Amino acid sequence: MAVDPKTTCYDSASAQSFQLYLQHSGEHKAIIQCLHNILPGEFKRIGVDKSSLDVLGVGSGGGEVDVQILTLLQSTFPTVPITTDIVEGSSQLRDNFKTLVAKTPNLQKIPFAWHFMSCENYEKQVKANGDMKKFDFIHMVQMIYYVDNLADTITFYQSLLKNNGRLMIIVEAANSGGDILWKTYKKELTVDAVTDYRSSAEIIACLKSLGLKYEEHATPNTFDITECFNPSSQTGKSLLNFMTAKNNFYESFTPEIRAGILDLLRNKCSTEKDGRVIFNSNSSCILVYA
């Protein structure tokens, strides 16, 4: 059965490419290191004099980053009750998340409310029901690419913040490999789930236009994409599928476009070291104030 990309950007094949990408790229490790550096201080400011804390994860995927965020929040406020709402459109990733929660003892006392839908459908539901639950911390990790209207989405979720709350947006950094790839081949790539690619440059410009206060933290990362240049490598194919948001890179483009993308990945998005091609996968962690 075909999957409506507005319900979820990850069907079964896409979810498999995503998991391989995470294993290969070390992206979550880099993000989690950044969070360990900045969130304890932020949480202390957010939680001052509060008797409970409410967290909203938007597009949380398999929950690997959420678990780290919640664990950090628990360690900062060990006696304060925490609730968590999760908005996720992929049934496979949501099930992975639930399995991870079941394996993580410290999360057993946190009540989870699961919303199986896109972030835009969640917005529609909240507005239709008039149930504007407010949150102390809202996070969107590598998902802002999939929304239709960036300004409307940021405005809505920022409006759900409680006093002194923070909205955290993690996105590919301006001039990273992903930014160069998607802007160079915008016409060919922004046709399915991602219809308007944005890096940190577009997020910052939007926040400025909305007059919102924010701070930005660099999250450096690189990984080896040498396998992408071996047409017989299954790892290379899966990485290319994920990096171009296609289920089959080699069937999705003309030979000329494929060659152009591979040339760009090697020569503009990466550096070569000891015969290996190392991709620039820097991201940016942006904290938006209430």
Q: What DSSP assignment string belongs to 232-250?
A: T-HHHHHHHHHHTT-S-HH
Backbone angle region of 119, left / alpha / beta, with phi > 0 → left and psi within -120 to 50 → alpha: alpha
**Helices marked H in 77-149:** 91-102, 119-129
Question: Counting beta carbons within 10 angstroms of the beta carbon of residue 98, is it exposed (0 to 12), middle (13 to 18) or buried (19 or more)?
Answer: middle
Both tokens assigned to 37: 């550096």
- Tens digit of each residue's pLDDT (9 = 90 or more) over 138-156: 999 999 988 889 999 999 9
Long-range contacts: 183-186, Cβ < 8 Å, 24+? 184/264, 184/268, 185/244, 185/257, 185/260, 185/261, 185/264
Question: Does the pLDDT value for residue 2 go beyond 70?
Answer: no
Cβ density class 162-188: b for 16+ within 10 Å, e for less: beebbbbbbbbbbebbbbbbbbebeeb
The predicted-structure confidence for 216-242, as pLDDT tens digits, reads as follows: 999 999 999 999 999 999 999 999 999
SS3 165: strand
Element (H, E) at 278: strand 276-280
Sheet holding 53-58, edge to edge: 112-115, 82-87, 53-58, 135-141, 161-172, 283-289, 214-219
Token reading at 152: 């409307």
Share of the chain above pLDDT 90, in %: 77
The mean-pLDDT minimum among 151-165, 186-200, 245-259 falls in 186-200
Q: Contacts by 125-131 with C-beta closer than 8 Å and gap 24+?
A: 126/160
**Most confidently predicted of 1-10, 162-171, 185-194:** 162-171
- Across the beta sheet with 222-224, the strand order is 222-224, 276-280, 270-273
**What is d(CA 112, CA 117) in angstroms, rounded to the nearest whole number?**
15
Q: According to the model, what pLDDT value does residue 47 have? A: 93
Domain ranges for the chain: 12-176+192-224+281-289
CA–centroid distance for 54 within its chain = 20
CA distance 8 to 31: 23
pLDDT tier at 108, thresholds 50, 70, 90: confident
Amino acid identity at 77: F
| Contact criterion met (CB below 8 Å) for 182 and 189 | yes
DSSP state letter for 118: -
* pLDDT, the chain, mean: 91
Query: What's the CATH code, domain 12-176+192-224+281-289?
Result: 3.40.50.150
The reported pTM is 0.90
Q: How confident is the model at residue 131 (pLDDT cuts 50, 70, 90)?
A: confident
